[in-house]
Amino acid sequence: MSRITLLSLFLLAYQPAVYAAPPQTTGEAPQPAPYLRPGAPTFDLTLVNFRAHYNQAFPSLPLEEYRAISVRDENLPLTRAATRINAAVYSSVVLEKGTGKIKSLQITYLPREDGERGKGKRGARNGAETPDRQLAIRYMAALMQSFSPTLSPQQSLEKAAELLSRGRSQPYYSQQDGSLRYVVSDSGEKGITFAVEPIKLSLSEDAGS
């Protein structure tokens, strides 16, 4: 089975839980993923435009062309696509159906089956990082910097590491930063997904920003 197929299965299996807000009370069903809610915002940016800007700004961390991923529910107002960075790191995107505008941009780290999972588990205990995980964090930081250009490369790396630390072992962790939402889903040895999503600010939030 190809790694892009594995990524598809990972996204289909985990994303509904990753991007669903946790229930308010025990026994309550999880809330719909933020980008599935009525009126959920999009970035005013298509995938083609994003890639052109991103690859120019980060030539050492390129994103190749994305390939479509099938969506189980064809009635959903979105499409998904993914691109391979290496055998363990992928980027995926959720697009608004019709406009092609970006709802969510994601970096997923899937430990390799050749022992990377065991190494990653031991490394996490020892405070070390595998090369693949380090690469994933660099891409996460680049995504953050592309939407928050005032961040320096070092600041974005530190912020990505802090988010992963706060979201460790959590199926869903989110943090708002102005008009952005950062999401972390840590499924342990199965993988980690990081996402950047837009937030629709209220008038009071706009006034205070």
Residue 198 lies in a domain: yes
More confident residue, 106 or 37: 106
Kindly tell me if the per-residue pLDDT of 114 is higher than 90: no
pLDDT for 32: 64
Instruction: Provide the 3-class DSSP secondary structure of residue 123.
Output: helix
**Tens of pLDDT along 116-149?**
445 545 444 334 479 999 999 999 999 999 999 9
For the cut 60, the answer to whether the pLDDT of residue 209 exceeds it is: no
Hey, is 166 helix, strand or coil? helix
DSSP 190: G
Is the pLDDT at 92 greater than 70, yes or no?
yes
Q: In terms of residue numbers, what domain contains 126?
A: 3-20+31-208
Asked if 37 and 200 touch (Cβ cutoff 8 Å), the reply is: no
Mean pLDDT for the stretch of residues 29-56: 85
Residue 18's pLDDT is what? 41
Instruction: Say yes or no to pLDDT of 100 above 70.
Output: yes
Does residue 26 lie in a domain region? Answer: no
User: Chain-wide mean pLDDT for the chain?
Assistant: 80
Report the half-sphere exposure of 108 (CA within 13 A, side-chain side): 29
pLDDT over 90 (residue 2): no
183 within a domain of the structure (yes/no): yes
- In this predicted structure, the answer to whether residue 14 has a pLDDT above a threshold of 80 is no
Whether 185 is in a domain gets the answer: yes
| Residue 73 CB-half CA count within 13 A | 7
148: in domain: yes
Asked if the structure places residue 25 within a domain, the reply is no
Rounded percentage of the chain residues whose pLDDT exceeds 70: 73
Structural domains in the chain (count): 1
Task: Kindly state the average pLDDT of the residues 26-38.
Answer: 62
**Quick check: 196 and 143 in contact, CB under 8 A?**
yes
Q: How far apart are CA 80 and CA 69, in angstroms?
A: 5
Average pLDDT of span 53-71 = 94
* pTM of the entire predicted model: 0.81
Give the span between the Cα atoms of 86 and 88, in whole angstroms: 5
User: For residue 36, is it within any domain?
Assistant: yes
Percent with pLDDT over 90 in the chain: 57
- From the centroid of its chain, how far is CA 54? 15
Residue 26's pLDDT band (boundaries 50, 70, 90)? very low
Q: What is the model's pLDDT at position 181?
A: 95
Q: How many angstroms separate the CA atoms of 93 and 65, rounded?
A: 11
pLDDT digit string, tens, across residues 160-208:
999 999 999 998 899 999 999 999 999 888 899 999 999 986 654 444 4
